[in-house]
Amino acid sequence: METIKLAHGNGGEENNKLISEVFYKAFENEILAKSEDAAIIEDGKLAFSTDSFTVSPLFFNGANIGKLAICGTCNDLAMMGAKPKYLTCSVIIEEGFSVKDLKTIVASMKEELEKNGAIVVSGDTKVMPKGTIDKIIINTTGIGEITKANISSNNITTEDIILVNRDIGAHGATIFTAREGIDMSSSLQSDCASLYPVVKALIDANINITALRDATRGGVSAVLNEWSKQSNICVEVEEDTIPVSDEVNGVCEMLGFEPTALANEGTFVLAINKADKDKALEILKKFNQNATIIGKVTSQYPQKVVLNSAYGTSRFLDTPTGELLPRIC
């Protein structure tokens, strides 16, 4: 690895290699080594996370870069059982950017903050000469209060079942069609949404949650492969149970991608104790009827994800590689 390529930001194999060989090596510590969506700090009282957003186009069906920036960081906190509380917002703006568009972006951020019960308490603004960046880049950092402790992707066992909260791949498919100017003549839109309300409902119902992870870059495939390695388990997924819309399937056929590799911004994967699966599914379906159980945890092939087809065949579902769709978040 001599130079950085677009593939190094894909959320897949190349991205993992870059992080482990450069950043983890330099910044090694016990908190970082856990590789969670957010760091657990202050003796387990707080969750802490940061994210930067470069999505192109800035406005797309279902959201814009502002909504994405708030959802992205708040969702990372929610995945650790934390209620989002305080955020910072840093914005780098290209000279000549429309003030009207900026106000629209900030208004969508305000709306999403209210859904999470969070506030922006600090920030920074920089303006760059025209042509030195592509329109606008946003960074958000968040702190959340832990309301359910010990949620961790390092603790998954064969006592757990794997679920998703809705159909997958909608965000990646939406960004692709918007970027390429493809008119799907359908209701396809990004799944970008704040996940704290549904996580709160699970916590309030005392669901025995082992792990949560929002399936952003690299999609569901990346999440399951990360979990299999972190907890030294095998995840067996039933292919015909994975909820995928016709529109997303259509885009995947054009791209030659698997839906499980497409990015999401309001879809998360859950590892729940088997005893609570029916209760958890009932709660999830109140938010989205496409919520479903997609697999189970076994010890058959440690650190591997197995995809079982409806025809009785099986294959390994690997971590995505290649450029996939750059600048999807």
**Mean pLDDT within 284-298:** 98
Query: Which residue, chain included where needed, has tokens 């390529």?
Result: 5
Above 90 in pLDDT, residue 186? no
pLDDT at 103 over 80: yes
pLDDT of 26 reads: 95
Query: So what's the pLDDT on residue 7?
Result: 84
How sure is the predictor about 324, in pLDDT bands with cuts at 50, 70 and 90?
A: confident
Which residues does 258 contact at the CB level (< 8 Å), separation at least 6? Answer: 221, 252, 317
Q: Is the pTM of this model over 0.85?
A: yes
Condensed to tens digits (0 to 9), the pLDDT of residues 9-29 reads: 878 888 889 999 999 999 999
Report whether 323 contacts 7 (CB < 8 A): yes
Q: Hey, which CATH number is domain 160-316, 3.40.50.800, 3.40.50.40, 3.30.565.10, 3.90.650.10?
A: 3.90.650.10
* CATH of region 34-146, choose from 3.30.1330.10, 3.30.460.80, 1.10.260.40, 1.20.1050.40: 3.30.1330.10
Burial call 5-30: b when 16+ CB within 10 Å, e when fewer: eebbbbbbbbbbebeeeeeeeeeeee
Per-residue pLDDT band at 322 (split at 50, 70, 90): confident
| Chain segment 191-209, per-residue pLDDT in tens | 999 999 999 999 999 999 9
Domain boundaries, the chain: 34-146, 160-316
Interatomic CA distance for residues 69 and 79, integer angstroms: 16
Paired sense of beta strands 82-94 and 314-316, if any: unpaired
Q: What is the pLDDT of residues 155-165, one digit of tens each?
A: 999 999 999 99
Encode pLDDT of 244-260 as tens digits. 999 999 999 988 889 99
Query: Exposure pattern of 214-243 as b/e (b: 16+ CB <10 Å)?
Result: bbbbbbbbbbbbbbbbbbebbbbbbbeebb
The confidence score (pLDDT) of residue 185 equals 64
